[in-house]
Amino acid sequence: MMLTSRTLFALTLGALACLGCSGKPAASEPPLPQVAAASPQAREITDTIDLDGTVAPSATVNLVARVSGYLQSAPFTEGQIVKQGQLLFVIEPEPYQQEVKLNQAKLEQARAEYQRQQVLMKENATAQSSVETAQSNLQQAEANLRLAQINLDYASVRAPFDGVIGKRTVDVGNYVGASAGGTVLATLQRLRPVYVNFSINERDLLRLRTAQGRQSASDPKAGVGSLQVGVALQGEATASAHGTLDFIDNNLSASTGTLSLRATFENRDLHLIPGLYAKVTIPISKPHPALLLPATAILNDQLGSYVFVLGDDMKVARRDVKLGAEIDQAREVTQGLAAQDRVVIAGLSGIGNGQKVAVQTGSTSQ
């Protein structure tokens, strides 16, 4: 069968059409990385030095049985506040009461004998040595009575200052005071005021001295009694108590390279309990305006700290920055950013310098 030129042309067109039907579809472009962007937060801040500290009582005393005997009573509630002079323990007092009475009688006898010897001496009816012996016996009787009264006082154990009493170590009815040094009955702590002990390293110490100016350079104890200190406990974002620096040690520890300091807090509500961890904050500047970014938006490499800034063309560019204070979960940016810049704060893992991105709706402000 003969094929005409018109027939061949039709077959060729059909074949080309079939080839077009069987070809693979053109590849689509990958989706753009999704990021969140925000402008730096403009806020007034105060530069601080943040340190780790521990709460400690301003005074601690072990209440000790200084005389022996059976513990008769303990008229207090464990763990409660007690007042100075409050009766806390009573050791059977009767033996010591009788000792006082006995020595009172001996004193009266010794006094009468001394007076009699003085009368006889005036009449030349006794020797001078007898008068001196009577005087010595009188003085001994006075001393013995005083000792008996002291022991009787020791039978009543009282609070030496206002504080919080701990758990008693001996139950009523036990014999106490027989061991060397006496028997510890309980521990009393003064918590108003309370101390926070902390240490500062050499770098921060120099920052603190610089902030205090010339006074600190000439006086190693500058700031004691005047420098304000704040503390925050675990879970507290800001300082919950404020006190005053009251102690600076003489020299840095050779083993840790730190200097010991202490601050005093009134602690009227007993918010600070001995043993608690405390984040210590010392202000070293006056309040000043600053630009803050979430700490998670700041990256670091061998060249230093940087962020990604979003341009009008929806491309990100690396921007090197200088950092300042840590404020909660944010960092102060002292150089490298302007208030109107838009900084990538989320989605950082999938982007690079000069890459085009897609910004999540509603994420371009902070």
pLDDT tens for 288-312 read 899 999 999 999 999 999 999 999 9
Cα–Cα distance list, 304 to 18, 104, 176, 309, 355 (Å): 60, 85, 67, 16, 21
- Average confidence (pLDDT) over 276-281: 96
Question: Which pTM does this prediction carry?
Answer: 0.73
pLDDT of residue 363: 59
Percent of the chain with pLDDT over 90: 67
pLDDT of residue 42: 92
Q: What is the CATH number of the domain that holds 303?
A: 2.40.420.20
Q: Which domain holds residue 297?
A: 34-45+288-359
245-268 pLDDT, tens digit per residue, is 999 998 888 888 999 999 999 999
> If pLDDT is split at 50, 70 and 90, which confidence band does 181 have?
confident
pLDDT of residue 2: 46
Rounded Cα distance, 160 and 250, in Å: 30
In a domain, 203, yes or no: yes
158, 189, 220: which is the final residue of a domain? Answer: 189
Chain-centre distance for alpha carbon 45: 22
What's the chain's Rg over C-alpha atoms? Answer: 42
In a domain, 125, yes or no: yes
> If pLDDT is split at 50, 70 and 90, which confidence band does 325 have?
confident
Specify whether 267 is located in the same domain as 292.
Answer: no
- Phi (first) and psi of residue 338, to 5 degrees: -115, 160
pLDDT of residue 264: 97
SS3 for 202?
Answer: helix
In a domain, 154, yes or no: yes
- Average confidence (pLDDT) over 177-183: 87
Specify whether 79 is located in the same domain as 147.
Answer: yes
First to last CA, the chain: 81
189, 217, 244: which is the final residue of a domain? Answer: 189
The encoded tokens of residue 331 equal: 């960092």
Under a CB-based contact definition with an 8 Å cutoff, are residues 248 and 205 in contact?
A: no
- Average confidence (pLDDT) over 10-17: 47
64-73, 128-137, 155-164, 318-327: which has the minimum mean pLDDT? 318-327
Closest residue by Cα to residue 216 from 196, 245, 241, 185 = 245
Specify whether 182 is located in the same domain as 213.
Answer: no
Counting the structural domains of the chain, the total is: 3
- Average confidence (pLDDT) over 214-220: 52
pLDDT of residue 225: 73
Specify whether 316 is located in the same domain as 269.
Answer: no
In a domain, 147, yes or no: yes
Q: What is the CATH number of the domain that holds 258?
A: 2.40.30.170
Specify whether 82 is located in the same domain as 183.
Answer: yes
pLDDT of residue 14: 52
Q: What is the mean pLDDT of the chain?
A: 88
pLDDT of residue 224: 79
In a domain, 64, yes or no: no
- Tell me which of 297 and 10 has the higher pLDDT: 297
CA angle 200, 202, 206 (to 5 degrees): 100
189, 218, 244: which is the final residue of a domain? Answer: 189
> If pLDDT is split at 50, 70 and 90, which confidence band does 222 have?
low
Residue that the structure tokens 């001496």 belong to: 121
Cα–Cα distance list, 361 to 35, 70, 351 (Å): 10, 79, 18
Residues 6+ apart with CB under 8 A from 309: 316, 317, 318, 319, 337, 341, 342, 343, 344
